[in-house]
Structure 1
Amino acid sequence: MQRFVRAKLHGLRVTGADLNYHGSITLDPEICRRAGLDPLEFVEIWNKNSGARISTYVLYGVAGSRCCILNGAAARTCQIGDEVIIASATYGAVDDVIAAQPTVLTFRPDNEVAEEIAYRVFRNEAGELDMTIESDGAVVPIRALVG
């Protein structure tokens, strides 16, 4: 079994931090449902501003609020306005990730969804694993980060 990305929120802004609340991250359930994140699901959070990386679980907040609130010890890792990446994972065989087609949401500064992206993993003609990134059904070029 391998660990694969199941869903990802990229560039969501932190709207609150509550050190004295039960540990977790509170997210707008509309955003969670669109990406496929479930209540109490464990997620990894990567702070783009500080580089902090933490693991916690999802609580659903108020629908439509566009909230992203770090609670408990996680509140120490982020400031209001920080951009975070939130990813969930699943374990399975390669064929499971081929079938899953994870959803990635990117965000505007007001936490409205800017783009919905799908990661598509497949076997190419040689039988090797390959992938595309799709937005609105169209393949998006994968940047070549070369020298």
Structure 2
Amino acid sequence: MQIEVVKSKIHRVTVTGAELNYIGSITIDEALMEASNIIEGEKVQIVNINNGERLETYAIKGNRNSGEITLNGPAARKVQKGDVVIIISYGIMDFEEAKSFKPTLIFPDEENNTLR
């Protein structure tokens, strides 16, 4: 049996922008993506702490060490600049493998700088 488990998590980052007129996705500071083991194009879930919204989209790289977290396209309607979100990605793996799997969790500071 295979199950879906948390693979990566960026816990509590501040949204720096919301671009409605864009093709879609979430732009994430490249350093945050690297630290959290999220790759460009990967499906991610966004959980908005401020309003309870949850949505799925895909990640694209922002400028390294910029602190950028921008929701693009329709997702921009679900957040506002300044909202705090959690970004989660999941992996599918064998049940037995999942028992010992350790996800990559990062806890950035208030300026979205990478902390582990």
Both structures adopt the same fold (TM-score exceeding 0.5): yes
Contact kept? 2:35, 2:114, Cα under 8 Å: no
Matches of residues 1-147 of structure 1 in structure 2 within 5 Å?
Answer: 1-98=2-99, 100-114=101-115, 116=116
d(CA) in 2 for partners of 1:103, 1:47: 20
Unaligned runs of 5+ in 2: none
Normalised by the size of structure 1, how large is the TM-score?
Answer: 0.74
- CA deviations 1:15-51 (Å, max 9, x no partner) are 0000001100000111101110000000000000000
Partner of 1:107, secondary structure, is coil
Instruction: List structure 1 segments (4+ residues) > 4 angstroms apart after TM superposition.
Output: none
Highest RCO, 1 vs 2 (Cα 8 Å, sep ≥ 6):
2
Deviates more, 1:2-11 or 1:99-108: 99-108
Q: Report the Cα offset of residue 87 of structure 1.
A: 0.3
Give the CA RMSD over aligned residues. Answer: 1.2
Structure of higher CA gyration radius: 1
Offset of 1:99 from its aligned partner? 5.0
TM-score by length of 2: 0.93
Q: Aligned residues, how many?
A: 115
Gaps in structure 1 of 5+ consecutive residues: 117-147
- Aligned-pair CA distance for 1:108: 1.9
Q: Name the amino acid aligned to 1:28.
A: D
